């Protein structure tokens, strides 16, 4: 079978096809997931990267999708979604454990640099919840690595820490497989969970009661 060779013409055609379909030119992550475009690494090696390639092709005036209008729209969308999913989790935790025992943006120290999205007090001394929404499994890995850096201190790790992934496309089985294959292991007491698994975790925790 003849090996397909990527060149400037068929890549231009693929980028234009993507633009017709989605209304913008692809980011590096979107290129890696696109069947009719080469891997971002291939573009980096042969053409000096996506930004340089888009500039050479003169596809539009905005060559770097990390800045400008596209980046602003993407940031707005991500922030809006993050606010909603955190709100949904907050309401659920309050219903399950009581308003008095669910703290949002809980700071562990007076320096206000180390915090959890939520800290829940229960009969087992409590647990932390850090919420995120990943667009794909590669994004899950990146978010998880960032959060592992955040929860390194002993005073934060004395409680169970739940990394709650809110994209319903990813079942717990996929998340467990990702964790199992990671070179950087998750410490004991920390868990990557889907929403269904988190509901089960909460069901097994006993709420405190106001006396």
Domain boundaries, given as residue ranges, for the chain: 8-66, 76-203
Rounded to 5 degrees, what are φ and ψ at 85? -65, -35
Maximum CA extent, the chain: 76
Please tell me the pTM assigned to this model. Answer: 0.64
- What is the distance of C-alpha 181 from the center of its chain? 18
For 26-80, list the strands marked E by DSSP: none
Q: Using 50, 70 and 90 to split pLDDT, how confident is the model at 72?
A: low
Distance CA 165, CA 19 (A): 29
Q: What is the mean pLDDT of the chain?
A: 81
Q: What is the radius of gyration, based on Cα positions, of the chain?
A: 21
Q: Using 50, 70 and 90 to split pLDDT, how confident is the model at 76?
A: very low
| DSSP code at position 101 | G
Q: 76-203, what's its fold?
A: Trna Endonuclease; Chain: A, domain 1 (3.40.1350)
Three-state secondary-structure class, residue 33: coil
Using an 8 Å Cβ cutoff, are 151 and 161 in contact?
yes
The CA-based dihedral angle spanning residues 70, 73, 75, 78, taken in that order and rounded to the nearest 10 degrees = -120
Using an 8 Å Cβ cutoff, are 161 and 191 in contact?
yes
What percentage of the chain exceeds 70 in pLDDT?
83
Q: Using 50, 70 and 90 to split pLDDT, how confident is the model at 43?
A: confident
| DSSP code at position 111 | T
The label of the residue with tokens 């990702």 reads 178
What is the number of alpha carbons within 13 Å of residue 162 lying toward its C-beta? 23
- Tens digit of pLDDT for each residue in 84-136? 888 899 999 999 999 999 999 877 766 555 678 899 999 999 999 999 888 88
Contacts of 108 (CB under 8 A, 6+ apart): 114, 115, 116, 153, 155, 156
- Tens digit of pLDDT for each residue in 45-70? 777 777 778 777 877 544 444 455 54
């Amino acid at each position: 079978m003849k090996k397909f060779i990527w060149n400037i013409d068929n890549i231009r055609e693929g980028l234009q096809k993507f633009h017709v379909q989605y209304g913008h030119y692809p980011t590096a992550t979107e290129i890696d997931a696109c069947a009719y475009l080469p891997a971002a690494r291939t573009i980096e090696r042969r053409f000096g990267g996506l930004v340089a390639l888009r500039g050479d092709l003169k596809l539009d005036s905005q060559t770097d999708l990390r800045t400008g209008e596209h980046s602003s729209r993407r940031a707005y969308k991500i922030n809006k979604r993050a606010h909603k999913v955190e709100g949904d989790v907050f309401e659920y935790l309050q219903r399950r454990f009581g308003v008095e025992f669910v703290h949002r943006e809980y700071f562990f120290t007076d320096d206000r640099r180390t915090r959890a999205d939520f800290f829940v007090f229960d009969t087992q001394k409590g647990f932390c919840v850090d919420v995120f929404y990943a667009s794909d499994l590669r994004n899950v890995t990146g978010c998880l690595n960032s959060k592992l850096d955040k929860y390194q201190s002993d005073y934060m790790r004395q409680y169970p820490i739940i990394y709650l992934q809110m994209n319903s496309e990813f079942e717990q089985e996929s998340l467990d497989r990702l964790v199992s294959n990671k070179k950087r292991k998750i410490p004991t007491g920390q868990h990557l969970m889907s929403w269904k698994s988190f509901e089960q975790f909460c069901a097994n925790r006993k709420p405190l009661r106001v006396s």
